Amino acid sequence: MLSESVTRGKTERSIGPDSTAIKEMELARLHSLQLRGSLWVIPMLLVLGSVASAQDPKVTQLTAPPPMRFIPRNEREQLATAKDAKERTRAIIEMADNHLLRAEEFTTDRKHDSALIEIGNYMALVEDAMGFLRGMKRDSNRTRDLYKRLELALRAQGLRLAAMRRVTPAEYAGQITVAGEFARDQRTEALKAFYGHTVIPEPPEEATQRPGEKPAKAPTSAGDTKRP
């Protein structure tokens, strides 16, 4: 029995160091494989990242859609009850100013979507006013006065729209610019309608003369002829 235990102890001592060495070799091999694998993963991640960034489209800034142009129902009913063109034009100018005022207030409060709704109402009223005046008698002083009244209002409103655009974020400012250009175009049309009835271009005097020729004298009546 004693000899058997001594023999078993010798066997365990001979096997113990060898098994530990094998385990250390296995761990070293696994560590080497992990290291080699990580060296391949880093370049692959870099390549995949560059490909993904190349395929991603550029993020473009969204812009607000154009406002719907419509006249509220209560204002349409009020315009329908106007007794004449002068009262109707005055009411439209007042309504347009009110919508523009509310748009300015919404812009100050940074409620830009609500401001665009008011801008759409404003543009619809101006379109209605111009359409109504186009249907009136063109060579009437009364029509010319209404065009002039509307032109003065559009000039002031255009300045207000320009000031509003300067404090509006980029995604909304484009529509304010469109409204300002609209007001400018309508004002130009009103000016042409106002001055078109009175301004008659005359040809220059030089165009009716030949080079070196003196201007023709106005004909004199028989009574104006001097006697010797």
User: Do 182 and 120 fall into the same domain?
Assistant: yes
| Euclidean distance between CA atoms 4 and 8, whole angstroms | 6
User: Do 43 and 107 fall into the same domain?
Assistant: no
User: Which residues, at least 6 apart from 75, have a Cβ–Cβ distance to it below 8 Å?
Assistant: 95, 125
Is residue 140, in this structure, part of any structural domain at all? yes
User: Do 88 and 144 fall into the same domain?
Assistant: yes
pLDDT in tens, 97-134: 999 999 999 999 999 999 999 999 999 999 999 999 99
If DSSP codes are grouped into helix, strand and coil, which group holds residue 217?
A: coil
Q: Domain tally for the chain?
A: 2
User: Do 50 and 100 fall into the same domain?
Assistant: no
CA 85, 86, 87, 89 torsion-angle sign = positive
Q: What is the pLDDT of residue 206?
A: 42
pLDDT in tens, 152-187: 999 999 999 999 999 999 999 999 999 999 999 999
User: Do 81 and 189 fall into the same domain?
Assistant: yes
User: Which residues, at least 6 apart from 2, have a Cβ–Cβ distance to it below 8 Å?
Assistant: none
Is residue 4, in this structure, part of any structural domain at all? no
Lowest mean pLDDT among 118-132, 157-171, 194-208, 210-224: 210-224
Q: What is the DSSP letter of 196?
A: T
pTM: 0.62
